[in-house]
């Protein structure tokens, strides 16, 4: 009994020390910088996506992926966890990963390779242009290393929603639906401003813009939007922002309660709605994260490039090929457990 206790103690020290910290929000934020669209359910591609796409279910449809890039980046242009049944998808300047089977036609342009976990129907994946040094692999498990977890994005959404708001608005604050001025403030001087909009606020607007002193110095603007069913039908105004590109890169619209989200007007800034069904009829200028997505408009670059600080306990997982730094601590712990075992035996 004493012997088994000693072995269990050693194993607990070793594996406990090597276990990576839970870094869900950090991982999700990094993915929002890498992808232009992240959708976790099946997805039908109906319009062009300027950046990279991640699909957690099956993919159907046609149109262009990565159409705004100018050269091969060597990154994933299109990643699909399930099957692909394409009627003509073109991937520009990036690689193609699929966990399941591929049928129809996926054309990989401008230097990319293709890695498919299942089968590939005859002539369904084509590498166009110079094929030197490029791969087309079926039965590959490469897509497995590209998979995303929706729980990381739910954790990020919850984290942002829990942050203290610098300014709050309710529908009662809207006395003039036209040209509503959303005031921004960085109350603690950390370059991050948090704006909270109560349920029903967006529906009370017909046009809006962001304003505030030193607004161009803000690194990230988080807009937490309450409500299970949200629809944006108000017109965007640049307001006090330097330009629309600044909005696309520095704003996160966090629909942390949303189950249904509809965009009837163009929105600038990344949209974080991992638990919602999202639909659009106009472009989304920024990264979109959705549980499911009915696409009736394009999704544009640039995506999110801002920064958000997290507690020091949240760190990205250590790559498998690297020896974790806490290993030396684990070895010391093994020694201490060993001493304890010897004392118990004596």
Does 182 share its domain with 260?
Answer: yes
Strand partners, 193: 221
Does 157 share its domain with 273?
Answer: yes
Does 269 share its domain with 155?
Answer: yes
What total number of domains does the chain contain? 2
DSSP-based three-state secondary structure for 34: helix
Cβ atoms within 10 A of the Cβ of 212, count? Answer: 22
In terms of residue numbers, what domain contains 214? 150-300
State the first-to-last Cα distance of the chain, in angstroms, to the nearest integer.
Answer: 14
pLDDT tens sequence across 255-297: 999 999 999 999 999 999 999 999 999 999 999 999 999 999 9
Helix axis angle for 150-162 and 24-34, nearest 10°, is: 100
Any domain includes 197: yes
Q: How far is 264 from 271, CA to CA, in rounded Å?
A: 14
Q: How far is CA 186 from the centre of its chain?
A: 25
13: its two tokens: 């020290």
What is the structure's pLDDT at 314? 61
Q: Of 53 and 344, which is predicted with more confidence?
A: 53
| End-of-domain residue from the set 116, 146, 176 | 146
Any domain includes 9: no
Q: What is the DSSP letter of 203?
A: G
> Which of 30-44, 139-153, 324-338 has the lowest average pLDDT?
324-338
What is the structure's pLDDT at 346? 45
Does 136 share its domain with 160?
Answer: no
264: its two tokens: 């009837």
Does 208 share its domain with 249?
Answer: yes
Does 142 share its domain with 197?
Answer: no
DSSP string, 124-170: -EEE-S--TT--EEES--GGGGG---HHHHHHHHHHHHHSPPSEEE-
Does 202 share its domain with 133?
Answer: no
What is the structure's pLDDT at 315? 57
**Average pLDDT score over residue span 91-97:** 94
- Beta strand pairing call for 84-92 and 102-109: parallel
Residue carrying structure tokens 């010391």: 332
| Mean model confidence pLDDT for the chain | 86
What is the structure's pLDDT at 311? 79
Contact of 116 with 138, CB cutoff 8 Å: yes
Any domain includes 17: no
Any domain includes 235: yes
DSSP-based three-state secondary structure for 276: strand
pLDDT tens sequence across 151-195: 999 999 999 999 999 999 999 999 889 999 999 988 888 889 999
What is the structure's pLDDT at 74? 77
Contact of 285 with 298, CB cutoff 8 Å: no
pLDDT tens sequence across 47-93: 999 999 999 999 999 999 998 766 777 789 999 999 999 999 999 98
Q: Of 315 and 179, which is predicted with more confidence?
A: 179
Does 142 share its domain with 164?
Answer: no
Q: How far is 133 from 54, CA to CA, in rounded Å?
A: 25
307 has pLDDT over 60: yes
Does 198 share its domain with 135?
Answer: no
Does 165 share its domain with 296?
Answer: yes
Does 162 share its domain with 221?
Answer: yes
Does 252 share its domain with 276?
Answer: yes
- Residue 247: which pLDDT band, with cuts at 50, 70 and 90? very high
Contact of 234 with 265, CB cutoff 8 Å: yes
Q: pTM for this structure?
A: 0.84
């Amino acid at each position: 009994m004493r012997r088994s206790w000693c072995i269990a103690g050693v194993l607990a020290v070793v594996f406990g020390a090597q276990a990576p910290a839970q870094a869900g929000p950090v991982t999700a934020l990094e993915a929002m910088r890498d992808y232009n669209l992240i959708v976790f359910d099946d997805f039908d591609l109906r319009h062009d996506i300027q950046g990279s796409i991640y699909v957690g279910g099956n993919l159907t449809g046609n149109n262009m992926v990565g159409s705004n890039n100018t050269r091969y980046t060597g990154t994933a242009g299109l990643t699909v966890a399930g099957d692909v049944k394409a009627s003509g998808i073109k991937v520009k300047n990036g690689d193609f990963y699929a966990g399941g089977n591929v049928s129809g036609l996926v054309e990989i342009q401008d230097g990319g390779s293709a890695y498919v976990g299942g089968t590939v129907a005859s002539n369904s994946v084509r590498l166009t242009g110079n094929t030197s040094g490029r791969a087309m692999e079926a039965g590959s498990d490469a897509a497995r290393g590209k998979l995303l977890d929706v729980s990381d994005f739910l954790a990020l959404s919850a984290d942002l929603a829990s942050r203290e708001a610098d300014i709050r608005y309710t529908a009662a604050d809207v006395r003039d639906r036209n040209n509503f001025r959303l005031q921004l403030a960085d109350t603690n001087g950390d370059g991050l401003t948090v704006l909270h909009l109560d349920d029903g606020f967006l529906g009370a607007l017909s046009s809006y813009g962001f304003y505030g002193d030193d607004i161009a110095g803000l690194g990230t603007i988080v807009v937490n939007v309450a409500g299970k069913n949200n629809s944006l039908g108000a017109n965007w105004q640049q307001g006090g922002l330097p330009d629309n590109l600044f909005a696309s890169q520095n704003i996160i619209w966090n629909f942390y309660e949303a189950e249904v989200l509809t965009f009837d007007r163009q929105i600038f800034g990344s949209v974080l709605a991992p638990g919602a069904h999202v639909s659009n009829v106009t472009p989304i200028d920024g990264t979109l994260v959705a549980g499911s997505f009915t696409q009736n408009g394009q999704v544009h670059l640039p995506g999110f490039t801002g920064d958000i600080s997290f507690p020091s306990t949240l760190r990205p997982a250590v790559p498998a090929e690297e020896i974790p730094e806490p290993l030396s601590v684990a070895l010391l712990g093994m020694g201490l457990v060993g001493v304890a075992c010897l004392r118990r035996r004596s």
